[in-house]
Structure 1
Amino acid sequence: MKNVNQTVINNANTVFEKKDDKYFGYKSRFGDIVIGGAYSYRFVVHYAKTNQDVVIIPGDVNTVTTPVCTTLEERLWKPEKTAQARRDEIVEQAKADVEELVLNGYDGEGFWGAEGNETYRKFSYSVEFLPDRKKRKVTALIRRTSDIDPRHVGRAKAAPSDCFNVHIGKAIALRRALGLAVPDEYLNAPQPTEVRVGDIVHYSRTFPRLTVSEGPYDRACCVSIRLVRQFLGDGITTIIDDSREEVGE
């Protein structure tokens, strides 16, 4: 039950935990669910539609990191999001987070913000990001305009088994530089499952770093998306960087 909101579970009337294609009774405030009993998808859908405060804990942490909760009888069943859909959401959240913090941040001493916001600006700051894709890390530097050395530094580094994404890295590094909490979804984003043009892949032991393209296979730098789709999941071919800044995503 890693990454599940415990408060939601505690407040729920009924809780199911998904394991493979079965749903097991985890909690029942009304005593109408057998704890540990196995239930079908059809049963759980009907139960969630006709009862209040039902929580389903997904068994695959790469599918979704928050439980599905029904609070009103008329709420329809919400299907689980795929790992790729959830990752896409987190990347967009990270981009918006960085944009907001760069424009309207606060470091404990003073604000900085967009032009025209002088009333709330105590000091003038700049934010610089230093991404290093080969080392799979991002550094955020915050300087006061009059300083050469940064006043605050934050760093983010992808784990060896994780796909690097510069947007998530920037959000983590900037929040650490500001002393802000880092959302759990940034630290535990699901891994990509769908290859896209602009991704960087470990294609083989001979070609550990190639960019995915629409065109034909070029062993010097690129590999076609058709080939990657064919071999993705073979235990060797993996997506190692899905930042795709060069293609405007």
Structure 2
Amino acid sequence: MQKVNFKNLTTTELNEFISKAAEELTKRANKSPRVITARKKVIEDAKSDLENLKDSTMCDGYEVGSYATVPEYHINRKKRVVTVLLKGYRSGRIYAKGIAKCDPRDTFNEHIGKAIALYRALSKKSSYKVLNS
């Protein structure tokens, strides 16, 4: 939307501007339910990916090489970054690290960030939907 100096507009021009703005908002609102539904699906997929990538022999962890690891997530909403450290189950040593940075044009979501960071830490290809959501 463009910046407008309302002081310089006539009543007719102001009414036209308001009508155009209302039409634009209506168009956006009509598209919104589909976009929201698709976004919810991607978030649910990201949550399920976090569970599906777990090693079945471990309670709450992932296998990196031959090491059993547990995830430690760091979420920075201000910088729009999610980092995961995969630490040794007993040793606490860091075996893998994954970082997911949210594009400034996108909406930040911690679940999608966690999934992308985890895929990167495990050196696996993430699903197209999660990466491009």
Decide: shared fold, TM above 0.5.
yes
Matched to 1:168, the amino acid is I
Between the two proteins, the alignment pairs up a number of residues equal to 97
Structure 2 gap segments, 5+ residues each? 1-30, 57-61
User: 1:129, 1:165 → 2: CA distance?
Assistant: 14
RMSD: 1.9
Match of 1:173, SS?
A: helix
Q: Secondary structure at the match of 1:130?
A: strand
Kept in 2: contact 1:140–1:170 (CA 8 A): yes
Identity within the alignment, %: 36
Whose helix fraction is larger, Structure 1's or Structure 2's? 2
CA separation in 1, counterparts of 2:74 and 2:34?
A: 31
Letter in 2 for 1:85: T
Q: Separation in 2 of the partners of 1:148 and 1:84?
A: 39
Greater relative contact order, per chain length (Cα 8 Å cut-off, separation 6+) = 2
Q: SS of the residue aligned with 1:159?
A: coil
Q: Find the aligned partners of 2:75 and 2:54 in 1 and give their Cα distance.
A: 16
- State the distance in 2 between where 1:164 and 1:84 align: 14
What is residue 100 of structure 1 aligned with on the other side?
A: 52
SS in 2 for 1:106: strand
- The aligned amino acid for 2:42 is I
- Report the TM-score, using the length of structure 1 for normalisation: 0.36
For 1:181, what is the secondary structure of its paired residue?
A: coil
Of 110, 119, 128 in structure 2, the residue corresponding to residue 184 of structure 1 is 128
Counterpart Cα distance in 1 of 2:116 and 2:101:
9
Counterparts of 1:41-120 in structure 2 under 5 Å?
A: 82-104=34-56, 105-107=62-64, 109-110=65-66
Report the secondary structure of 1:151's partner residue. Answer: strand
- Rounded to whole Å, the distance in 1 between the matches of 2:54 and 2:77 is 22
Q: CA deviation at 1:186?
A: 1.3
Q: Which runs of 5+ in 1 are unaligned?
A: 1-62, 64-80, 111-122, 190-249
Indicate conservation of the 8 Å contact 1:102/1:127, yes or no.
Answer: no
Deviations 1:67-101 (A, max 9, x none): xxxxxxxxxxxxxx811111100100100111222
Bigger shift: residues 133-142 or 145-154: 145-154
TM-score (norm 2): 0.65
